[in-house]
Amino acid sequence: MLIQFNFKNYKSFRDEATLDLSAAKMTEFSERVVCIGSEKILPVAAIYGANASGKSNVYNAFEYMTEYIVESFKYGDEEEKFTEYRPTPFLLDSNSENVESSFEVYFTIPGDKTEKSYNYGFCIGKVGITEEWLNVKAKTARKYSPVFYRSEDTLDLIGIPKNSRENIEVALEKQVLIVSLGAKLKIAKCKAIRDWFFANQFADFGDVITNFFMSKRLPKEFVEDKNVQKRVVEFFASFDENIKDFRVEKISAEGDSKEGKYKINALHKKIDSDEMAEIPLYLESAGTLKMFALYPEIQEVINKGSIFFIDELNARLHPLLVRNFILTFLNPQINVNHAQLVFTTHDTWQLSNQLLRRDEIWFTEKSHEGISTLYSLADFVNEDGTRIRKDESYEKNYLIGKYGAIPSLKSIDIFKEG
């Protein structure tokens, strides 16, 4: 589970930002807090803010970190490819645009019976990795112990097996992460870290291209296994009982009988008989197609106990459907493997003390200088020095500007008649 994510000098975030999923000391919804080792972790984080305030950049920062960990060994000794993939720093400051960006996580690994906690991070500049570290903490320990540390003039592999250290020393390039290379070399400690990142899922609901490709994706074994189709129908029944079944028909590709496309029809019961009407899946509503596309990711995340990062969760989904989606992660009887949901949204209907804890609600705000900040409702302090109470109307207070992170609006005078 993700305990904390820190990043700095990435896009609109010039200064260090922290998304903390460790539970604060508060009484509401205490039953949903997951205890692993000495950590108390939350299953959900909701991020609110005005358009262009930096919400999506929190999502992008974690996605960038994940992709670089999974792919960095490909950039070794290829400066041109690395230049294209290095992170975008804060560009509105002549100092920041020339310094490194940093990414760091604290987390636990699903299924780890020893309940260890890990701290991993790296700094990346114009020509490569300037710093990288991995630390581990045992369940009963107070402090983290180093597994490896690397800077531009230091390489300490103290926690790596001796027979693997030489391979890393010989093969490591300045653009490549030790975790990526170590996983490629089948070093167990590095592979465990890489695999934790690899298991996480990302979906940008605000992106047209992402939505298009998601709508083309089928659940695993959906075509071959009728039981999978049945489970998808049961999944739909949680928000739309009109779809009773699916009919899948293979359409062979021209000149190749082994490969082909599939025609999928959703079966609906006719209102005047017991017969079924067949409607091509692509003619279903945008929301239905989105939930159909989401099923594989939800299933995988829930089964693996990984993290689902979603940008613009509310896009084309009814607020009640969004709430049902969130409740899937908040229900410990369903979410037995402690999967987590981190999402950005404009849907203030979910901004409720009946659904979310104060430490599960986050805001992004951008200053007049273009600098984004990230803060939690649990840490927000009123002008009189008091903290937000758990019985407040979060939605109402947010919309009137009490918590910040809302757009500063002016009348659109361009449409005034002269």
Residue 404 has pLDDT above 90, yes or no: no
Task: Give DSSP secondary structure letters for 71-107.
Answer: HGGGGTT-HHHHHHHSPP---SSTTGGGS-EEEEEEE
User: Can you tell me whether residue 268 is helix, strand or coil?
Assistant: strand
Place of tokens 């508060």: 26
Identify the DSSP state of 219.
P
Side-by-side strand order, sheet with 276-280 = 243-253, 256-269, 276-280
Residue 370 Ramachandran class (φ > 0 left, ψ -120 to 50 alpha, else beta)? left
How large a percentage of the chain has pLDDT more than 70?
91
Residue 86 has pLDDT above 50, yes or no: yes
pLDDT band at 258 (very low <50, low <70, confident <90, very high): very low
Domain count, the chain: 2
pLDDT of 261: 74
Beta strands, E only, 286-329: 307-311
Average pLDDT over residues 195-211: 81
pTM tops 0.85: yes
Residue 215 has pLDDT above 80, yes or no: no
Looking at the fold, whether 59 and 127 belong to one and the same domain comes out as: yes
The structure tokens listed for 319 are 């607020």
Looking at the fold, whether 95 and 185 belong to one and the same domain comes out as: yes
pLDDT of 257: 46
Looking at the fold, whether 72 and 141 belong to one and the same domain comes out as: yes
Average pLDDT over residues 181-200: 96
Residue 213 domain-assigned? Answer: no
Average pLDDT over residues 155-172: 95
pLDDT of 221: 77
CA atoms within 13 A on the CB side of 251: 5
- 35-49, 81-95, 355-369: which has the minimum mean pLDDT? 81-95
Element (H, E) at 407: none
Looking at the fold, whether 70 and 143 belong to one and the same domain comes out as: yes
Residue 276 domain-assigned? Answer: yes
Question: What does residue 17 show for φ and ψ, rounded to 5 degrees?
Answer: -120, 145
Looking at the fold, whether 47 and 148 belong to one and the same domain comes out as: yes
Looking at the fold, whether 13 and 120 belong to one and the same domain comes out as: yes
On whether the CB atoms of residues 319 and 287 are closer than 8 A, the answer is no
Residue 54 has pLDDT above 50, yes or no: yes
pLDDT of 77: 63
Q: Torsion angle, CA of 17/23/25/26, rounded to 10 degrees?
A: 110
Residue 332 domain-assigned? Answer: yes
Looking at the fold, whether 62 and 26 belong to one and the same domain comes out as: yes
- Alpha carbon of 356 to those of 40, 363, 393: distances in Å? 16, 14, 12
CA 84, 87, 93, 99 dihedral sign is negative
pLDDT of 241: 80
Residue 112 has pLDDT above 90, yes or no: yes
Q: Looking at per-residue confidence, does 347 or 236 come out higher?
A: 347
Task: Domain of residue 282: give its range.
Answer: 220-287
Q: Report d(CA 72, CA 268) in Å as an integer.
A: 48
pLDDT of 212: 57
Looking at the fold, whether 6 and 154 belong to one and the same domain comes out as: yes
Residue 411 domain-assigned? Answer: no
Place of tokens 């993939």: 85
Q: Report d(CA 343, CA 355) in Å as an integer.
A: 14
Q: What is the pLDDT of residues 302-325, one digit of tens each?
A: 999 999 999 998 887 888 888 988
The structure tokens listed for 246 are 């699916």
On whether the CB atoms of residues 346 and 378 are closer than 8 A, the answer is no
Q: Report d(CA 22, CA 4) in Å as an integer.
A: 7
On whether the CB atoms of residues 326 and 344 are closer than 8 A, the answer is no
CA atoms within 13 A on the CB side of 279: 17
Neighbours of 213 (CB within 10 A): 10
Geometric angle at alpha carbon 23, from 378 and 46, rounded to 5°: 60
Among 287, 319, 336, identify where a domain stops.
287
Looking at the fold, whether 157 and 20 belong to one and the same domain comes out as: yes
Q: Report d(CA 418, CA 400) in Å as an integer.
A: 32
- 7-21, 135-149, 269-283: which has the minimum mean pLDDT? 269-283
pLDDT band at 210 (very low <50, low <70, confident <90, very high): low
pLDDT of 224: 81
What is the bridge-based pairing of β-strands 44-49 and 361-366? Answer: parallel
Looking at the fold, whether 238 and 151 belong to one and the same domain comes out as: no
Contact partners, residue 239, CB within 8 Å, separation at least 6: 291, 320, 321, 324
Q: What is the pLDDT of residues 127-162, one digit of tens each?
A: 899 999 999 999 999 999 999 999 999 999 999 999
Q: Report d(CA 23, CA 35) in Å as an integer.
A: 10
CA atoms within 13 A on the CB side of 347: 21
Q: Report d(CA 401, CA 389) in Å as an integer.
A: 16
Average pLDDT over residues 259-267: 77
Neighbours of 417 (CB within 10 A): 3
Q: What is the CATH number of the domain that holds 84?
A: 3.40.50
Q: Looking at per-residue confidence, does 45 or 234 come out higher?
A: 45
Among 253, 287, 321, identify where a domain stops.
287
Q: Among residues 332, 336, 341, which one has the least CA distance to residue 362? A: 341
Q: Looking at per-residue confidence, does 298 or 66 come out higher?
A: 66
The structure tokens listed for 321 are 């459907």
pLDDT of 222: 79
Residue 26 domain-assigned? Answer: yes
